[in-house]
A and B are shown apart, each in its own frame.
Chain A
């Protein structure tokens, strides 16, 4: 989880790695010359067209809103349950079975059940996605709450710190690394599950659109959507998650 410092040579190596992947793709596509494997240029052209007519930004926006809502919900509920489990052996004993169940139930089952019981609604979709992530967050935060240093809490007790200061300056900082781990694994999980929920029961968003193109075997547009999605994930990682991590756990460096 340590923030890695990239050296100059490493940066070049990364660019070189990305370019070789593109070159490999272009070469194979050129050799195959088949409509089922379009090259990078064809995909880029499709991407430009989809952005220009507004369809892709709309779908991407809708999907990202769902991701944000599910993520917030899952982190809040999962952290609360996980911290309670880590602090109390009774709560842990009670919820442990639920956690094992939740971790192992297939995402698709949860999605189907939510749509059946809640109707094909936005709320059902968001809850279904969040439910898939809650056990994972709870498991990570339970570990964090267990690892909390009681000696440091005693310092807060001796200083008679008010609740809020104690939470902000003594308790939560011990959980930040775990919250960051839950955020990372949470986003990568939710990105994927949102698409499933969309293609099963929504009529817009990236997942819905991918399913549509799949039915027409429109690989070019599928790849164009995928590329835009990957771009968003990479951007979120480097402009949101990493700066946040540096802020919260920078004292380790």
Chain B
């Protein structure tokens, strides 16, 4: 069963009076429980795609079929986007319906994520890594069927980012939502995903759909990921610029 089916024929928006096409013929599906990464050059419409999937943007041609129930979608943005006037616990409770009146899932999850001592702290008192952990908790607390992540760990130092990736994988392993993880970092995508979808430069469409069956755990700096990355870039030298044309060496072989 698919947790997400995307068939966007065309998505355009107006900028300075001109019409810009952001996405064309973007078609893919994510099966339940799969961790799919999306990689593409900047400006390829990754964030637009997530807005459409999240239901924030409905002005497009085509169809998106996601989780039917509203509570079954979680999202983590590029920045933590916590409410500064709510405590850590209240920020996570925000995602629960009906609003809880006593200790429960939110606190349980936060304690699991080593945030138990900060339940009543405000976001401004937290480090960047802690804020992102809270944002992750807010997305996971309602046990989503589909989780959208929009470059959630960028602008963090490498050890913190890696720690959060491991945390994400641990939560995913336990609750198994389908995940759509958008990034521009090929190493990150290869180390996390069951599958990597490469998008073209804008207007974005899928140029390569790469299944991965490397064993986990595999860090972004691990030998297996590095070898795969090399091989991939040898075969498709322009992949990160959104082109999956086969290299001369490859086609000669």
Q: In whole Å, how far is A26's beta carbon from the nearest beta carbon of chain B?
A: 48
> Which A residues form the contact surface with B (CB < 8 A)?
151-152, 154-155, 157-162, 165, 169-170, 173, 176, 249, 251-252
B85 adjacent to A165 (CB under 8 Å):
no
Which residues in chain B, 120-153, are within 8 Å of chain A measured between CB atoms? 122, 124
Q: Is the CB of B81 within 8 A of A161?
A: no
B residues adjacent to A (C-beta < 8 A) = 54-56, 70-71, 73, 75, 77, 79, 81, 83-86, 90, 94-95, 97, 99, 122, 124
Please measure, in the bound complex, the distance between the C-alpha atom of A87 and the C-alpha atom of B44, giving whole angstroms.
Answer: 30
Q: Tell me the complex Cα distance, A106–B30, Å.
A: 66
A158 touches B99 (CB 8 A): no
Cα separation A161 to B83 with both chains bound (whole Å): 14
A251 nearest CB across to chain B (Å):
5
Among B55, B83, B84, B95, contact of A157 (Cβ-Cβ < 8 Å) = B55
User: B99 touching A170 by the CB < 8 A rule?
Assistant: no
- In the assembled complex, the Cα of A151 lies from the Cα of B79 at a distance in Å of 9
Given A155-B81, A169-B83, A161:B94 Cβ within 8 A:
yes
Given contacts A155-B81, A251-B122, 7 further A-B contacts (CB under 8 A): A154-B56, A157-B54, A158-B73, A173-B83, A176-B85, A251-B85, A252-B124
A159→B94 contact, CB < 8 A = yes
Contacts of B81 in A (CB 8 A): 151-152, 154-155
Q: Please name all residues of chain B whose beta carbon is closer than 8 Å to the beta carbon of A170 when the two chains form the complex.
A: 83
With A151-B81, A173-B85 in contact, do A160 and B99 touch (Cβ < 8 Å)? no
B168 to chain A, nearest CB (A): 18
- Are the CB atoms of A157 and B56 closer together than 8 Å? yes
Q: Which residues of A contact B85 (CB under 8 A)?
A: 173, 176, 249, 251
- In the complex, the answer to whether B56 meets A152 with C-beta atoms within 8 Å is no
Known: A173-B85, A251-B85. A160 touches B56 (CB 8 A): no
Min C-beta distance of A161 to chain B, whole Å: 7
Nearest 10 interchain pairs by C-beta: A160-B70, A173-B85, A251-B85, A158-B75, A251-B122, A155-B81, A158-B54, A159-B95, A151-B81, A157-B56
